[in-house]
Structure 1
């Protein structure tokens, strides 16, 4: 009997030794499960590299690690991501974005009409579900999950090109407040893109994983997720590797797009004041919008930026053939940008206060403040959060890529990648509700 035990022990030891030597001297296997962040405004795809043990966020052919969550329909093709976003001003009725706001959701007719009023494309009611009306050489409708599927297919193709292999399995993130129907429709979108979803993970939990909080002893984690179009604040309780979402609040009509819009309107006012002509051409609006977005990004690092934009400045209905463009120039300071958005920035604190009240927690009892979403890079926003809590928020992870990083870690776990990671276990909170500020 002792001989048999000794033999089994030798076999196990040999297997461990073979595994160790394989890790040390053989090229690591390629990841077979991808992590997907299907965001409202931008989306990303990442992988956990076996052997190396790090996360790689996959870039597109231009080196960009996020693609706009936009799909544009033309007479000849369907464009996705940056190419679609470029048509947002020239083909507004057929360029669909923010589809995540509608996916799997049942709407009251009045609420859907109210929600759709803010978009240049047409949203119609199909028995309580939202669909988008598209008119090219034909008129047809597409569902939110179809729009999602085109974005997911684009990211799947990016991953396949980068890895040099076919990808069929993925882990995907969703907002913590998504109900079962919304989660199922998100999975349906992935299935339409040819992907099998192994697990759905909440975005705040994914962000916490990106910061490594699933592996350290913290209890109360506050996640502030401020992206291009939405603000979501979640209070997580964590013990060991288990997370429970204790409270949620947010504003689904507040984000980086609103800050850019304030700056765009200011620039258009300055054009009128300088030249005495209002901006009317779609091409001029598009150029100004691009420069407003660029200025907003640069002001996170610099105290001021110079804007130089060539404009046609002519009435759309009476174009002046051959008229040379004028050059609009202005300097935008960080102080001026903060003044333009002062009331919007203050609104960020409202859901933070609410989740603390709902979670019966004082500000000083929060162990970690995690920032997610590119808009949390804005210095004034970080300052407001720092002043409110009296401590520095955790900024050790790129906020644009925090969610996709966490999802990629979970994808590595589902794929059995080495070195092994601690999986985050989410405990459903059936009584949870999200408080919305609009």
Structure 2
């Protein structure tokens, strides 16, 4: 079996390692590996796919995957390479986010251990922090860290300054109680990760420490754009925020220049399989075979095979224009990814189009009606003075309107 280091290098993922030998020994001993998320929202987003898939990747190479949710550190906020200080969340909101993310993660990786650092940090008094943690961190050492130094001139509170020490203590806790020897993160986490390996060394002796840290290259597009940015805003992993269909479409619409990197970084497909996919893709790029396979792998992993089939069914219905075949759950998924507006029932059709902003004016509304460019429930033969009634509703108080060949609108009626 090849080593995890070889795997990371072949996928062009690896950025830095504190100690290769310790990483290989941890793999041999089936030790723990972890990364951490601060619960700043009640759902993970598409950027979290990268650390999650890497936890799965390490698991496939014999490691025990552990995820720390920052029930305590989330109350502070990581200052690493951020321009401004984070807005502090309330304790209740952080707890709510922790439990929501815990359910999400254990569904994606059922065998993962999820822990909340509030279990140990929440019980620690200020005096405990200063004596147990603060005493082992030299001020010059902390100020020399790039993730701290880059914020000093812009302003860094004592609150955020303490973050790297708390993360270092997290690593020590997992190391001493769960035989977790490896921490990984993006390249922007190098300072925090090395704080952990150094803190462990200060506690157990550098010659005795088995801890190591790994960072991965940040995933960016070849045009320099940031991965995960979308015209519709954040792409969430919660299907109630971003539907399975929209997540699938996000990947299907990626550029050819990026799809190879995304297949290597965001899936556990064997490299030989990825090469075959790309070879077939290059024969007929317009079919977007590589992007579709990428979407299939990610959506199936995050939402299961059922979620992927739902995305495909909706995609085919929208492409054919036959959304009448979809059930309520599938129609609601469409409404998450199309423009939303509001209007009233019992309006004349022309007034409905203008009030819902489907048409910008009465003139455009008349043209759309005349050209039969508006379709609702399979109909496009509307009259200007026809009344919009309950028979137009798809579910609840929602009407789904097709404008032209491709545009859809969701209109909530009162």
TM-score by length of 2: 0.31
TM-score by length of 1: 0.30
Greater share of strand residues, 1 or 2? 1
Q: Which has the larger radius of gyration?
A: 2
Determine which structure has greater relative contact order: mean sequence separation of CA pairs < 8 Å that are 6+ residues apart, divided by chain length.
1
Higher relative helix content? 2
